[in-house]
């Protein structure tokens, strides 16, 4: 069998070689050289440019129609609405029109002015008016983007100031997350990475009494709806990134630093599960899962790692449950403080 | 030594403009001095190109492997096993560590070896002496070293793929602590050391090359070649070289400190780390320092990759539209503006790193400013086509492709530059789509345009036109096919550098998007076989090139169809006009070479 394949390859090479010989010999007879462009080349390729443009735009809209329902659902946090609004304005009024118009003009000109031996190009080397025009217009559009972008950025990234906020620490390590709550005293205990051990996985400073009532949870953490959540982030080993796409929240977790991000969830997990967009999206997901012979799933908020951190980077996840304040308090009361866990 | 003799002769010949008959027949070069340790810019250019083509094939094959993993995770592919062996692809299923290694080395090779070394090394070497009318580079010896450092660097990078623990795998940005700690990932053992050494050698190569380019452009321009008469290619290479000379040393120090942290126990980038079951002694360093140093190179690097491609297309679009480039001075101005701004935008890679948000706002402002000169360039290209007589050579088609990808990838940059919008798409596939289209595709299209356009000068033969058309369409269609859908992955929140998306149910409905990307990647990869065949076949058996096949104005087309030392037999050409007198009214032909004196009352530089 292998011999046959080898033989076939050898024969193909010989045939190819002979074919090339014929082409090489015949090109000596022709008047025009192969590499010289003819009018029919220019016509063909010019039309090709136009056809490409049409197919490209069709592909573009086809993707939007088919895949827009797979984009993340609308924001589940307060500041996320601003991001979504700004995103839509930028996309719909600047990015997509510029993309479509300039690509159209480019391919249209390529087609319209395709070369012909009878034509002569117009000598047109510069025009201050035109150049000024397309310096000023982008500048004006960018001024809008910069002003709104910075306004929202400053609001979103301002330090958490709500006295009623809940502080949760997300602790990242290869390859899982731990969430830490302040406990009854409302204060997180200090930490010291040298004290990390099997029973002290997040490196709490055991001499700090403030930390004794802190609560550690894995796999899933809960937050109440409508309260400002201040996330503080630490890392044990390498850079991770806490990415909460549904809340439009992200921040790197950097060893040696405490980073922060604040947000206010506006929809509980249950509400999200009833959202028509989410229902449709989950139907699509479960359809695919059925095809692959997997169990159906229901919607959950997720925390993902979004900075390359090692072999299992792709599987560093934690569920986030948003619930009413009452349910949250019930859940929190059931969690055991660190001190009790350590003494067990 | 014949070549050494020539080098002194060159300088002399240039300084005095004496008639030096460079009788190349006198030189009896050995194989080694002609093909291996050559000091001739044309040979060095070809060496760079062929090395880059080989490296590009390696990096492309890697991308096909990891794209297949992303589309069909868990499937067994015999060819993956055949390439990577049982250790990294048991039964043909890619190992997660090897996945990260492939992503890392793919990025490194493409960015540095192909689009920096390959693109600048090939075309700056070929075109600077030719287009400014010099007999060779200012220092042929340093130029030779530049190539051989590049070769060693490429060889080390390839070699690192064959060691026991695998090559570096912390992403091409090699952020510590991941890249600093061998306990964190196998790729941070010997593989990372080799990566850093390879990079250090690469930086030496880049600096030697860059200094040479700058000096040649400044000092060795022929009579009449004013700065404002230089073709835009030369301007682009000059600005690129300045960017490289100013920013690569910072990468060098960045890498050096990482080497110290890895091997000498310093703590520049490390603090408060517990790994491998023990706390480390390192205190006080910061990984964010690394990110600042890295991106201080990393962002100018984007333009080091892009500007040569833009320079090449400026030349090709003007020549092939048979029109002067629109807004010659605006083009220079925007390249200078882009070059300057590229040094003060690096922080936009770091909005989400914990860097002070106020600092982030400054970078939003500077980053969005860079959109203005970029827009000017795009509009000027389009206006150059307007009322032209567009000749669709394969080089021209790739140039039009570049303008399209520069626009399509550029507009999403507006989104990513805006820190508030970056929050939710930072490090997702939206970013992957953006930079592959705007930087990867544009630069590689520019490189293809350059190869098709200057092949006759490089190899004295013509490439096959029809195969060029075929190659263009396959490449152009599949390139958009691979990267456009990735925007939608980003909108669904899919992070970069995930070995598989199947561990998160929320990404299950994206399987078909990944399959489309991968299918196009495979088609695109096969499409490159057309190019490789055309390239190597035409090198030896293509039709003989005439002196000026594209009816072009620039000086390289006034050299004889032969590779001779000193480029021009006899006197150096004297330049009388800018490079863009195409279809000038009142002229007999639709092109007027730069060596033609201005007629009585004729204006230079686009006035008529």
Average pLDDT of the segment spanning B152-156: 97
Taking the Cβ of residue A48 and every Cβ of chain B, the question of whether any pair is shorter than 8 Å is answered with yes
Say which CATH number the domain at B131 has: 1.20.210.10
Average pLDDT of the segment spanning B285-298: 95
Average pLDDT of the segment spanning B448-468: 96
Average pLDDT of the segment spanning B523-548: 95
Q: Using CA atoms, how far apart are residues A182 and A216, in angstroms rounded to an integer?
A: 9
Q: Using CA atoms, how far apart are residues B356 and A194, in angstroms rounded to an integer?
A: 27
Domain that holds residue B438: 45-558
pLDDT of residue A225: 96
Q: Using CA atoms, how far apart are residues A77 and A248, in angstroms rounded to an integer?
A: 7
At A105-119, the pLDDT tens digits run 999 999 999 999 998
Rounded to a whole number, what is the distance in Å from the CA of A164 to chain B's nearest CA? 23
Would you tell me how many other CB atoms lie within 10 Å of the CB of residue A298? 12
Dig out the tokens for B561 from the structure: 């169809």
Instruction: Using CB atoms within 10 Å of the CB of residue B563, give its burial: 0 to 12 exposed, 13 to 18 middle, 19+ buried.
Output: middle
Is B40 a domain residue?
Answer: no
Candidate from B274, B284, B511 with C-beta closest to A196: B274
B-contacting residues of A 313-342, CB under 8 Å?
Answer: 313-315, 317
Q: Using CA atoms, how far apart are residues B80 and A293, in angstroms rounded to an integer?
A: 26
| Alpha carbon separation from A8 to B47, B79, B216, B530, B537 (Å, rounded) | 34, 20, 53, 20, 22
Beginning with the edge strand found earlier in the chain, give each strand of the sheet holding A240-244 in spatial order: A220-224, A317-323, A301-305, A240-244, A249-253
B-contacting residues of A 247-276, CB under 8 Å?
Answer: 248-252, 254-257, 259
pLDDT of residue A340: 53
Q: What share of chain B is helix, strand, coil (3-state, %, to 5)?
A: 65, 0, 30
Rounded to a whole number, what is the distance in Å from the CA of A217 to chain B's nearest CA? 20
pLDDT of residue B30: 82
Query: Which of these, A257, A271, A262, lies nearest to A301 by C-alpha position?
Result: A271
Answer whether B117's CB lies under 8 Å from B206's CB. yes
Q: Using CA atoms, how far apart are residues A11 and B152, in angstroms rounded to an integer?
A: 38
Q: What is the crossing angle of helices B394-417 and B442-459, to 10°?
A: 150
Candidate from A56, A59, A311 with C-beta closest to B185: A311
Rounded to a whole number, what is the distance in Å from the CA of B221 to chain A's nearest CA? 24
Is B567 a domain residue?
Answer: no
pLDDT-based confidence at residue A175 (cuts at 50, 70, 90): very high
Candidate from B400, B462, B493 with C-beta closest to A35: B462
> DSSP readout, B426-493?
TTBHHHHHHHIIIIIIHHHHHHHHHHHHHHHHHHSBPPPHHHHHHHHHHHHHHHHHHHTTHHHHHHTT
Answer whether B414 sits within 8 Å of A145, measured CB to CB: yes
Whether the predicted pLDDT of A344 surpasses 50: no
Answer whether A121 sits within 8 Å of B424, measured CB to CB: no
pLDDT-based confidence at residue B128 (cuts at 50, 70, 90): very high
The three-state secondary structure class of B569 is: coil
Whole-number percent of chain B with pLDDT over 70: 95
Answer whether A106 sits within 8 Å of B465, measured CB to CB: no
Whole-number percent of chain A with pLDDT over 70: 98
In a mutational test of the B interface, the residue from A24, A29, A37, A123 whose CB has the highest number of chain B CBs within 10 Å is A123
pLDDT-based confidence at residue B76 (cuts at 50, 70, 90): very high
Question: Mind listing the domains of chain A with CATH numbers?
Answer: 40-115+130-157 (no CATH), 166-343 (2.60.40.420)
Whether the predicted pLDDT of A124 surpasses 80: yes
CB pairs under 8 A between A and B: 375
Is B586 a domain residue?
Answer: no
How many folded domains does chain B comprise? Answer: 1
At B355-407, the pLDDT tens digits run 999 999 999 999 999 999 999 999 999 999 999 999 999 999 999 999 999 99
pLDDT-based confidence at residue A285 (cuts at 50, 70, 90): very high
Q: How far apart are the first and last CA of chain A?
A: 68
Indicate the helix (H) or strand (E) that contains B38: none
pLDDT of residue A25: 75
Answer whether B421 sits within 8 Å of A87, measured CB to CB: yes
Q: What angle do CA B82, B76, B502 make, to 5 degrees?
A: 130
Dig out the tokens for A295 from the structure: 């169990």
Whether the predicted pLDDT of B18 surpasses 70: no
Answer whether B400 sits within 8 Å of A134, measured CB to CB: no
pLDDT-based confidence at residue B600 (cuts at 50, 70, 90): confident
Write out chain B residues lying below 8 Å of A249, CB-based.
423-424
Answer whether A126 sits within 8 Å of B387, measured CB to CB: no
Is B580 a domain residue?
Answer: no
Average pLDDT of the segment spanning B45-62: 97
Whether the predicted pLDDT of A334 surpasses 90: yes
Whether the predicted pLDDT of B9 surpasses 60: no
Average pLDDT of the segment spanning A73-101: 95
Whether the predicted pLDDT of B522 surpasses 80: yes
Write the Ramachandran bin of B542: left for phi over 0, alpha for psi from -120 to 50, otherwise beta: beta
Answer whether B287 sits within 8 Å of A315, measured CB to CB: no
Average pLDDT of the segment spanning A11-29: 80
Whether the predicted pLDDT of A250 surpasses 60: yes
pLDDT of residue B453: 97
Per mean pLDDT, which range of B21-25, B226-230, B283-287, B473-477 is the poorest? B21-25
Write out chain B residues lying below 8 Å of A313, CB-based.
100, 497-499
Is B395 a domain residue?
Answer: yes
Is B230 a domain residue?
Answer: yes
Average pLDDT of the segment spanning B344-363: 93
pLDDT of residue A324: 96
Taking the Cβ of residue A98 and every Cβ of chain B, the question of whether any pair is shorter than 8 Å is answered with yes
Answer whether B325's CB lies under 8 Å from A131's CB. no
pLDDT of residue B27: 60
Average pLDDT of the segment spanning A283-307: 94
pLDDT of residue B608: 65
Answer whether A86 sits within 8 Å of B419, measured CB to CB: no
Average pLDDT of the segment spanning B194-220: 96
Rounded to a whole number, what is the distance in Å from the CA of B531 to chain A's nearest CA? 15
pLDDT-based confidence at residue A9 (cuts at 50, 70, 90): confident
Whether the predicted pLDDT of B232 surpasses 90: yes
Answer whether A288 sits within 8 Å of B509, measured CB to CB: yes
Whole-number percent of chain A with pLDDT over 90: 78
């Amino acid at each position: 069998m292998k011999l046959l394949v080898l033989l076939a390859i050898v024969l193909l090479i010989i045939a190819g070689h002979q074919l090339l010989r014929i082409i090489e010999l015949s090109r000596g007879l022709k008047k025009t050289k192969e590499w010289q462009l003819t009018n029919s080349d220019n016509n063909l390729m010019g039309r090709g440019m136009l056809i490409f443009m049409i197919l490209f735009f069709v592909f573009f809209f086809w993707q939007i129609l088919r895949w827009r329902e797979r984009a993340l659902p609308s924001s589940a946090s307060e500041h996320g609405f601003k991001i979504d609004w700004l995103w839509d304005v930028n996309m719909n009024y600047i990015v997509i029109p510029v993309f479509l118009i300039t690509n159209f003009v480019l391919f249209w000109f390529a087609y319209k002015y395709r070369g012909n031996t009878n034509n002569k190009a117009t000598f047109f080397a510069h025009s201050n008016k035109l150049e000024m025009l397309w310096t000023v217009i982008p500048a004006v559009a960018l001024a809008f983007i910069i002003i709104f972008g910075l306004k929202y950025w400053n609001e979103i990234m301002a330090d958490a100031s709500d006295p009623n906020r809940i502080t949760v620490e997300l602790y990242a390590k290869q390859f899982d997350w731990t969430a830490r709550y302040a406990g009854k005293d409302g204060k997180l205990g200090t930490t010291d990475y040298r004290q990390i051990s099997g029973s002290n996985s997040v490196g709490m400073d055991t001499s700090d009494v403030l930390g004794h009532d802190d609560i550690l949870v894995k796999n899933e953490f809960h937050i109440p709806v409508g309260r400002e959540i201040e996330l503080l982030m630490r890392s044990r080993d390498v850079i991770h990134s806490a990415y909460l796409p549904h809340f439009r929240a992200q921040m790197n977790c950097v060893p040696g630093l405490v980073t922060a991000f604040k947000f206010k969830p506006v929809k509980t997990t249950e509400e999200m599960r009833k959202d028509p967009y989410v229902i449709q999206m989950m139907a699509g997901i479960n359809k695919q899962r059925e095809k692959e012979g997997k169990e159906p799933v229901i919607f959950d908020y997720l925390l993902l790692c979004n900075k390359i951190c090692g072999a299992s980077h792709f599987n560093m996840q934690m569920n986030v449950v948003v619930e009413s304040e009452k349910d949250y308090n019930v859940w929190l009361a059931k969690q055991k403080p660190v001190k009790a866990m350590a003494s067990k | 030594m014949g070549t050494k003799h020539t080098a002194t002769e060159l300088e002399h010949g240039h300084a005095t403009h004496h008639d030096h008959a460079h009788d190349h027949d006198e030189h009896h070069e050995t194989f080694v001095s002609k093909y291996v340790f050559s000091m001739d810019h044309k040979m060095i250019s070809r060496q760079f190109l062929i090395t880059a083509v080989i490296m590009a094939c390696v990096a492309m094959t890697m991308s096909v492997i990891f794209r297949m993993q992303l589309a069909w995770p868990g499937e067994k592919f015999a060819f993956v096993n055949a390439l990577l062996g049982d250790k990294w692809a048991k039964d043909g299923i890619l190992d997660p560590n090897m996945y990260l290694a492939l992503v890392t080395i793919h990025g490194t090779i493409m960015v540095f070896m192909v689009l920096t070394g390959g693109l600048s090394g090939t075309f700056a070497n070929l075109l600077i002496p030719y287009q400014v009318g010099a007999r060779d580079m200012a220092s042929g010896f340093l130029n030779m070293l530049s190539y051989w450092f590049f070769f060693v660097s490429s060889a080390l990078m390839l070699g690192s793929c064959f060691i026991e623990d695998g090559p570096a795998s912390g992403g091409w940005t090699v952020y510590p602590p991941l890249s600093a700690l061998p306990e964190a990932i196998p790729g941070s053992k010997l593989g990372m050391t080799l990566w850093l050494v390879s990079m250090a050698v690469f930086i030496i190569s880049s600096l030697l090359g860059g200094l040479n380019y700058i000096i040649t452009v400044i000092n060795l321009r022929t009579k009449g070649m004013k700065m404002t008469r230089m073709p835009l290619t030369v301007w682009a290479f000059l600005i690129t070289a300045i960017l490289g000379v100013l920013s690569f040393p910072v990468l060098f120090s960045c890498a050096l400190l990482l080497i110290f942290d890895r091997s000498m126990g310093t703590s520049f980038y490390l603090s408060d780390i517990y790994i491998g079951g023990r706390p480390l002694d390192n205190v006080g360093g910061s990984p964010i320092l690394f990110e600042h140093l890295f991106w201080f190179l990393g962002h100018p690097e984007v333009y080091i990759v892009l500007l040569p491609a833009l320079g090449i297309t400026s030349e090709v679009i003007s020549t092939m539209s048979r029109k002067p480039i629109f807004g010659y001075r605006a083009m220079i101005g925007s390249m200078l503006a882009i070059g300057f701004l590229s040094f003060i935008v690096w922080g936009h890679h770091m909005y989400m790193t914990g860097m002070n948000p106020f600092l982030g706002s400054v970078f939003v402002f500077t980053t969005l400013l860079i959109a203005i000169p970029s827009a000017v360039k795009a509009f000027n290209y389009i206006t150059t086509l307007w009322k032209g007589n567009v000749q669709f050579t394969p080089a021209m088609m790739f140039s039009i492709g570049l303008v399209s990808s520069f626009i399509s990838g550029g507009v999403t940059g507006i989104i990513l530059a805006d820190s508030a919008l970056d929050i939710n798409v930072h490090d997702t596939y939206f970013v992957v789509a953006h930079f592959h289209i705007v930087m990867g595709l544009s630069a590689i299209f520019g490189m293809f345009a350059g190869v098709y356009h200057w092949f006759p000068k490089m190899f004295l033969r013509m490439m096959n036109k029809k195969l060029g058309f075929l190659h263009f369409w396959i490449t152009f269609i599949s390139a958009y096919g691979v990267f456009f859908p990735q925007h939608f992955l980003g909108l669904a929140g899919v992070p970069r550098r995930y070995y598989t998306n199947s561990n998160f149910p929320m990404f299950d409905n994206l399987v078909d998007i990944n399959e489309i990307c991968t299918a196009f990647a495979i088609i695109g990869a096969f499409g490159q076989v057309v190019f490789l065949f055309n390239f190597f076949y035409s090198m030896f058996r293509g039709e003989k090139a005439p002196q000026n096949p594209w009816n072009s104005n620039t000086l390289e087309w006034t050299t004889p169809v032969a590779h001779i030392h000193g480029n021009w037999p006899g006197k150096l050409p004297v330049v009388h006009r800018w490079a863009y007198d195409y279809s000038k009214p009142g002229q007999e032909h639709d092109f007027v070479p730069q060596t033609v004196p201005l007629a009585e009352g004729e204006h230079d530089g686009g006035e008529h």
